[in-house]
């Protein structure tokens, strides 16, 4: 069976892309290169001194792992070298990363990313991932990237996807013409097309939510969880609860098998925990291109939301369209107001 590498696929599909002058091809290719470099370190994380804490916190006040910072640096370097990316927003960096050199400033694209999502799982060998979201810049070419380049609605994404560093390493992305998955073949060091034209089932039997937060959930979420646990053979219920605590891993499993992932508002996270720019928007683009839905639980399409800040959080309901619709019925009927955090202090 002939193998199609990521680079061959991107070039074959270049004609699909309105800005087909090879720009996006170079950008996606450089993302693939950085992914292979990060994958090499992730795969030997237990053997070299890049496990554990870096002794610093990121903008979220979350403990940074050495591999977080390593991944951030490698993706930034590769994207800068592509000459197509004029600026980057990263979970690991307070402000946007811009470049002084003329070459990257000529870039027509910006990228928002979570360079290593789920990094609290690194030390226990659980799958983690990189998530990326690509826009055309709105600021003038040749100048530094500006904040307005990054605060565009998700509907303006030109490409988005993720790399999952798991039992195998995969890159899954969309440019608005469907979703395709590539598995890294370590024997040749190439991402090879393994999951062409991914379509997510309209319904599934998996629900993914951190039930440890149950008492902090809005009433509608509590009622939906109980619905998932009730026996009803025709709908596949009781569903199966699957939650890894690594968005890329939970999302990828549900994308392929069908299911719903929810990170709602909770007492403590009154806007939800996940970030709009570099977690929710890219995953929403992928899921919609695969036939699913990504909303805030109240019928608002994630990709329609106008971002107000780089690290803005939103409630996130993503997965099989019939399951999202059912969950939103519960949010409408029973409310999505989270309990007051003072009740738990
Ligand atoms: P919790 C990882 O820190 C992350 O950002 C996502 O990858 C994951 O889905 C979520 O947080 C898990 O959060 O509160 O359930 O541990």
Instruction: Name the 3-class secondary structure at 69.
Output: helix
Query: To test the ligand 1 pocket, which listed residue (118, 119, 163, 209) has its Cβ within 8 A of the most ligand atoms?
Result: 118
Residues of the chain with CATH 3.40.190.80: 206-344
- 127: nearest Cα among 14, 229, 313, 251: 251
Provide the pLDDT for residue 106: 93
Structure token digits, residue 16: 């699909």
Query: To test the ligand 1 pocket, which listed residue (129, 242, 246, 252) has its Cβ within 8 A of the most ligand atoms?
Result: 246
CATH assignment, 6-195: 3.30.540.10
Cβ of 209 less than 6 Å from ligand 1? no
Cβ of 335 less than 6 Å from ligand 1? no
Cβ of 118 less than 6 Å from ligand 1? yes
Residue nearest to atom 4 of ligand 1 (CA): 118
User: How much of the chain is in helix, strand and coil states, percent to nearest 5?
Assistant: 40, 25, 35
Residue nearest to atom 3 of ligand 1 (CA): 118
Residue 158: Cβ-neighbour burial (10 angstroms; 0-12, 13-18, 19+): buried
Provide the pLDDT for residue 327: 98
Regions of the chain where pLDDT drops below 70: 1, 16-21, 45-65
For ligand 1, the distance from its centroid to the CA atom of residue 268, given in whole angstroms, is: 14
Non-local (6+) Cβ contacts of 135 within 8 A are: 109, 110, 111, 112, 149, 150, 152, 156, 157, 158
Cβ of 273 less than 6 Å from ligand 1? yes
Strands 109-117 vs 97-98: parallel, antiparallel or unpaired:
unpaired
Q: pTM of the entire structure?
A: 0.94
Question: Could you tell me how far CA 233 lies from the centroid of its own chain?
Answer: 32
Cβ of 210 less than 6 Å from ligand 1? yes
Counting atoms of ligand 1 from 1, which one is nearest the CA of 117? 7
Provide the pLDDT for residue 41: 86
> Which bin fits 72, alpha (ψ -120 to 50), beta or left (φ > 0)?
alpha
Provide the pLDDT for residue 211: 97
For ligand 1, the distance from its centroid to the CA atom of residue 278, given in whole angstroms, is: 13
For ligand 1, the distance from its centroid to the CA atom of residue 246, given in whole angstroms, is: 6
Q: Rounded to whole angstroms, how far apart are CA atoms 267 and 338?
A: 6
Counting atoms of ligand 1 from 1, which one is nearest the CA of 129? 7
Cβ of 117 less than 6 Å from ligand 1? yes
Q: Rounded to whole angstroms, how far apart are CA atoms 291 and 201?
A: 8
Cβ of 247 less than 6 Å from ligand 1? yes
Residues of the chain with CATH 3.30.540.10: 6-195
For ligand 1, the distance from its centroid to the CA atom of residue 121, given in whole angstroms, is: 10
Cβ of 4 less than 6 Å from ligand 1? no
Residue nearest to atom 9 of ligand 1 (CA): 247
For ligand 1, the distance from its centroid to the CA atom of residue 325, given in whole angstroms, is: 23
Cβ of 120 less than 6 Å from ligand 1? yes
Provide the pLDDT for residue 61: 65
Query: To test the ligand 1 pocket, which listed residue (274, 282, 315) has its Cβ within 8 A of the most ligand atoms?
Result: 274
Alpha-helix residue ranges (DSSP H) falling in 13-164:
23-43, 66-82, 102-105, 147-150
Cβ of 246 less than 6 Å from ligand 1? yes
> Which CATH number among 3.90.1200.10, 1.10.3720.10, 3.30.70.920, 3.40.190.80 corresponds to the domain 206-344?
3.40.190.80
Segment 84-129, tens digit of pLDDT: 999 999 999 999 999 989 889 999 999 999 999 987 888 888 999 9
Write the DSSP assignment of 240-300 as a string of letters.
EE---S-HHHHHHHHHHH--EEEE--BTTBBTBSSBIIIIIHHHHHHHHHTT-EEE-SSS-
Element (H, E) at 10: helix 6-12
Provide the pLDDT for residue 162: 98
Provide the pLDDT for residue 13: 82
């Amino acid at each position: 069976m002939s193998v199609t590498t990521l680079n061959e696929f991107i070039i074959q599909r270049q004609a699909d892309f309105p800005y087909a002058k090879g720009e996006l091809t170079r950008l996606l290719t450089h993302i693939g290169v950085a992914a292979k470099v990060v994958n090499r370190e992730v795969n030997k994380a237990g053997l070299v001194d890049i496990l554990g804490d870096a002794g610093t916190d990121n903008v979220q006040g979350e403990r940074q792992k050495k591999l977080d910072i390593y991944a951030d640096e490698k993706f930034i370097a590769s994207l800068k070298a592509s000459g197509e990316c004029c600026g980057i927003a990263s979970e690991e960096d307070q402000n946007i990363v811009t470049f002084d050199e003329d070459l990257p400033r000529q870039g027509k694209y910006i990228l928002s990313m979570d360079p290593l999502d789920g990094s609290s799982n690194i030390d226990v060998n659980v799958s983690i991932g990189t998530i990326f979201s690509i826009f055309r810049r709105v600021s003038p070419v040749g100048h530094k990237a500006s904040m307005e380049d990054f605060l565009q609605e998700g509907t303006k994404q030109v490409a988005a996807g993720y790399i999952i560093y798991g039992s195998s390493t995969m890159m899954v992305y969309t440019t608005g013409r469907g979703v395709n998955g590539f598995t890294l073949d370590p024997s040749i060091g190439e991402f090879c097309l393994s999951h062409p034209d991914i379509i997510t089932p309209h319904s599934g039997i998996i629900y993914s939510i951190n039930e440890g937060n149950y008492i902090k959930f809005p009433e509608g979420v509590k009622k939906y969880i109980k619905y998932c646990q009730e026996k009803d053979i025709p709908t596949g219920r009781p569903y199966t609860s699957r939650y890894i605590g690594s968005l890329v891993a939970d999302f990828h499993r549900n994308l392929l098998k069908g299911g719903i992932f929810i990170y709602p508002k909770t007492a403590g996270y009154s806007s939800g925990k996940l970030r709009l720019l570099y977690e929710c928007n890219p995953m929403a683009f992928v899921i919609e291109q695969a036939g699913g839905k990504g909303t805030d639980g109240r019928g608002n399409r994630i990709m329609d939301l106008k971002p107000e800040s780089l690290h803005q959080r939103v409630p996130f309901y993503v997965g099989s369209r019939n399951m999202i619709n059912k969950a939103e019925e519960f949010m409408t009927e029973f409310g999505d107001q989270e309990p007051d955090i003072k009740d738990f202090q």
